[in-house]
A and B are shown apart, each in its own frame.
Chain A
Amino acid sequence: MIEQVAQHAMQVHGEAWTVKELFVLPNEYIYWSIQIVMYPFMTGLVAGAFVLSSLYHVFGVKKLKEIARFSLVFSFALLPVAMMPLLLHLQQPLRGINVLMTPHFTSAISAFGIVFLTYSFIVASELWFEYRKHFVLTYSRLEVRLDLGFFDNLRRLFFKTLTLGAFDISEEAQEKDHKAVKVLASIGIPIACFLHGYAGFIFGSVKANALWMTPLMPVIFICSAVVSGIALCILTYVLTQEIRKFMARRRIARWAKDTGAPSFEELRGAEEQEVRTVSNYLLYFMIAAITLEILDLIFRGYTQVKSWDILREVIMERDFFKIFILQYTIGNALPFLMMIWPNRSVRRVTAASVLILFGVFMMRWNVVIGGQAFSLSFAGFMHYHMPIIPHNWETFKEGFFGALTVMITPFVIFYFLNKIFPAFLKDDESVEEFEGVNGKSAPEFSATRPY
């Protein structure tokens, strides 16, 4: 018993989920486990959602107006989650801040702090410009009411703070807001690509790892990031639209009871149009991503350098099911066919998006776990058994439930963010309301509609 306890206490990080076969160096384990699979997956979603919103703001794809706003808010909800897997993976999570405090610039990870913070500021300020009018209107609506309860008062103060003192919502001011959004979105695209490209660089620059080391890695990561980001936006957009449609039909929510609320048919029409347009972009990026991935594979097979023997065994034999069936067939080929098939419907695109998300997840898995499936000695293999039922903190955070926590968090954050930045806010709605009731200065605004 005592021996068992001692043995358990001496368990090395990674030992719990690594099984070694043939000759593996004594210190080799699968050190980068599920959370490092989640990390590029989540940052990819952030970058992808942002690129989608920029399609409207920068390139003026008018049809994407509604989903652009939605994906911007969603991208903001995903942001804090991008660093969650890193923190859960660190052996010394309390020292995680050191990456920001004492960055060592020859390391790809040290760029994280700078790129991540820059990116957060850009998304946050873009959101602010986008929603400034909403803040002002909400604030003024609350300001004129006399029967404010404690929470409404808090809300009033909160929205007053959010306006940052900029109450001007004249035409010119709004024009400036739009311009700012456009500029920020155009700066944001390269930074979003950098945010994810560098995640690819983290892997691609590890020369010790035969599977990871390729200059294509950052580009592959960016393309698959955009693919996954768009797919998740479609999925979440359709889900929320379905809920809204349901509410509109049953008139459940407060907004649905208003006379000016969008009807069931209006919602359905908007949904179909948005999803059709977005799925086109999804297809373009998918073609780019798959082309690069296949190119990488063919190149390795053709050049047959020293590592190819072991890589071939991993790719073609041991991980065949995960790579060719789960990733390429179910995650890429099948949704691709579903989308190019004529008469694509919202339902089909949504199903395809789920498969694409799965495919991108499998791609991350096959890169991160697959890259550790063989020994540095090229003479042995390591198998990864993801801990499902946690028996200690480590197997929780680096196991199934840790990954699940990371998966769920953005949706929880989105729920709350949506209260502040309503993702489905209609421009004309608020403008009409504002112009119809009063002149210029917002605080004189006299609408009494409870919102």
Chain B
Amino acid sequence: MKRRDFLKKSILVIAGASVPLSALQMVDPKKVLAENLDIHWAFLIDTFKCVGCGFCVKACKTENNIPFEANVTRTWVERYVYTKDDRRYIDSPKGALYGYTDPRIDMGMGEYKEIDPDNVGKAFFVPKLCNHCITPPCTQVCPVGATYKADNGVVLVDRSWCIGCGYCIMACPYGARFFHPTLHVADKCTFCYHRITKGMDTACVNACPFGARKMCNIRDIDDPITKIIMNQRVGVLKDEFGTKPQAFYIGLAQEVR
């Protein structure tokens, strides 16, 4: 065979083979499994049912070893008060750790605002926690990959690898992250990973006396909570950031950010 012929035929073989070969794909088994995983955790909060008792905050701090007196928390409850003269007041003293026993609004800097009960137009409580977003900005910005999204949708922090730069805290639009006061690494809600992976509810869901907090597997369409998310009108926080939050709210007011 001449060199010219050899080259010609080689080109022909390569060209002919490349068409069917391009149809082949490198498949990462992990990726396929993750995409078809039968568990993806989501959270449902019914703001109509929340009374601001703060049991969830207490339970969370106890369960997850977040120092009680430290002014950071994995979950918190906000109080919204609208007066009839169109003023809005929001507060969350100590993240509602001790519940809303004081009718005065905490205005910060040691000031409290007395509100005439007759002047209150509407008032409600909004529990908050990490939204475990589908596209979390916090994991995107971690310079060492210490925070990551588990296959089942939960966003976690590797405490042994976090360098404590605070970039994830800055990147979270929901203020769900903070520095752990004693471990000095980024910390956040884990959906009580150690509990849910054993078939238990999260500490806050367990502690809520009124069923304002619910947890579900959003891939399981027979799950009653999944059904609520699918069939009722639910909202998410700050969807303009494109984070696709997985904590859904019933009765979300537009002022809640």
Q: Are A27 and B176 in contact (CB under 8 A)?
A: yes
Q: Encode contact with B along A102-145: 1 for CB under 8 Å, 0 otherwise.
A: 11101111101000000000000000000000000000000000
- Return the contact of A31 from the options B67, B78, B166 (Cβ within 8 A): B166
For A96, what are the chain B residues with a Cβ–Cβ distance below 8 Å? 163
Q: In the complex, what's the smallest C-beta–C-beta distance from B94 to chain A, in angstroms?
A: 7
Main secondary structure of the interface of A (DSSP, over half): loop
Query: When the two chains form their complex, are residues A23 and B91 in contact, meaning their CB atoms are under 8 A apart?
Result: yes
CB < 8 Å: which of A9, A27, A107 contacts B175? Answer: A27
Q: For the complex, is A21 an interface residue (Cβ under 8 Å from B)?
A: yes
A118 to B176, CA, bound (A): 36
Contact mask for chain B residues 57-82; partner A; CB cutoff 8 A; 1 contact, 0 none? 00000000001011111001010000
Contacts of B71 in A (CB 8 A): 12, 15, 26
Q: Is the CB of B170 within 8 A of A208?
A: yes
Query: Known: A206-B171, A207-B241. Is A23-B144 also a contact (CB below 8 A)?
Result: no
* Residue interface mask B170-190, A partner, CB < 8 A = 1: 111111111101101100000
Chain A binder among B25-33, B39-47, B135-143, B202-210: B135-143
Partner among B108, B161, B170 whose Cβ is within 8 Å of the Cβ of A206: B170
Q: Which residue of B is nearest A202, CB measured?
A: B167
Residue of B nearest to A36 (CB): B166
Contacts of A107 in B (CB 8 A): 140-143, 167
Assembly CA distance A21 to B161 (angstroms): 34
Contact B172–A208 (Cβ < 8 Å): yes
Q: Which residue of B lies closest to A3 (CB)?
A: B69
Give A360 Cβ to nearest chain B Cβ, in Å: 22
Whether, in the assembled complex, B145 has its beta carbon less than 8 Å from a beta carbon of chain A, the answer is yes
Complex interface: chain A residues within 8 A of B14 (CB) = none
* Residue among B73, B88, B107, B241 making CB contact with A27, cutoff 8 Å: B73
In the complex, per-residue mask of B76-99: 1 if CB is within 8 Å of any chain A CB, else 0: 101000000000111110110000
Q: Are A98 and B163 touching (Cβ within 8 A)? A: yes
**Which of A13, A20, A21 has the most chain B CB atoms closer than 10 A to its own CB?**
A13
- Give the complex CA separation of A102 and B148 in angstroms: 14
Q: Complex: how many Å from CA A9 to CA B70?
A: 9
A401 at the interface (CB under 8 A from B): no
Verify B163–A99 contact, CB threshold 8 A. Answer: yes
Is B162 in the interface zone, CB < 8 Å from A?
Answer: yes
* Residues of A contacting B181 in the complex (Cβ-Cβ under 8 angstroms): 9-13
Q: B76 CB to closest chain A CB, in angstroms?
A: 5
- Within 374-433 of A, Cβ neighbours of B (below 8 Å) are at 375-380
In the complex, A295 has a CB within 8 A of chain B: no
**A205–B171 Cα gap in the complex (Å)?**
9
A375–B108 Cα distance when bound, in Å, is 12
With both beta carbons as reference points, the residue of chain B lying nearest to A14 in the complex is identified as: B179
A26-B72, A31-B170 given; A109·B176 CB < 8 A: no
Q: Mark A72-112, 1 if CB is under 8 A from B, else 0.
A: 00000000000000100111100110110011101111101
Cβ–Cβ < 8 Å partners of B241 in chain A: 207-208
Closest CB of chain B to A138's CB: distance in Å?
Answer: 41
- List the A side residues contacting B94 at CB < 8 Å: 26
Q: Which residues of A contact B174 (CB under 8 A)?
A: 25, 376
Contact, CB under 8 Å: A25 / B184: no
Complex alpha-carbon distance, A141 and B212, angstroms: 84
Q: Is B109 an interface residue (CB 8 A)?
A: yes
Shortest CB–CB separation between residue A242 and chain B, in angstroms?
Answer: 40
Is B165 part of the contact surface with A, judged by Cβ < 8 Å? yes
Residues of B within 8 A of A25 (CB): 76, 92, 174-175
Bound together, the chains give a CA A90 to CA B173 distance in angstroms of 21
Bound-complex Cα distance A26 to B94 (A) = 7
**Bound-state Cα–Cα, A32 to B179, Å:** 12
Of the residues B143, B164, B184, B257, contact of A109 by C-beta under 8 Å: B143
Q: Does any Cβ of A come within 8 Å of B154's Cβ?
A: no
Please measure, in the bound complex, the distance between the C-alpha atom of A92 and the C-alpha atom of B183, giving whole angstroms: 10
Is B50 positioned at the interface, with any CB of A under 8 Å from its CB? no
Residues 148-173 of A, flagged 1 when their CB comes within 8 A of B and 0 if not, give: 00000000000000000000000000
**CB of B229 closer than 8 Å to a CB of A:** no
Min CB gap A269→B, angstroms: 49
23 contacts between A and B (CB under 8 A): A7-B69, A9-B182, A10-B70, A12-B70, A12-B72, A12-B179, A13-B179, A20-B109, A23-B90, A26-B73, A26-B76, A28-B175, A29-B178, A89-B166, A90-B165, A104-B143, A106-B141, A107-B140, A110-B143, A202-B167, A206-B137, A208-B170, A377-B257
Task: Please give me the 4 A-B residue pairs with the lowest Cβ-Cβ distance, nearest first.
Answer: A91-B164, A104-B145, A25-B175, A109-B143
Residues of chain B having any CB pair with chain A under 8 Å: 67, 69-73, 76, 78, 88-92, 94-95, 107-109, 137, 140-146, 161-167, 169-179, 181-182, 184-185, 240-242, 257
Binding site for B on A (CB under 8 A): 6-7, 9-15, 19-29, 31-32, 86, 89-92, 95-96, 98-99, 102-104, 106-110, 112, 202, 205-209, 306, 375-380
12 other contacts beyond A32-B166, A99-B163, A112-B143, with CB at 8 A cut-off? A12-B70, A12-B179, A13-B184, A19-B108, A20-B109, A22-B107, A25-B175, A26-B175, A32-B170, A99-B144, A205-B141, A209-B170
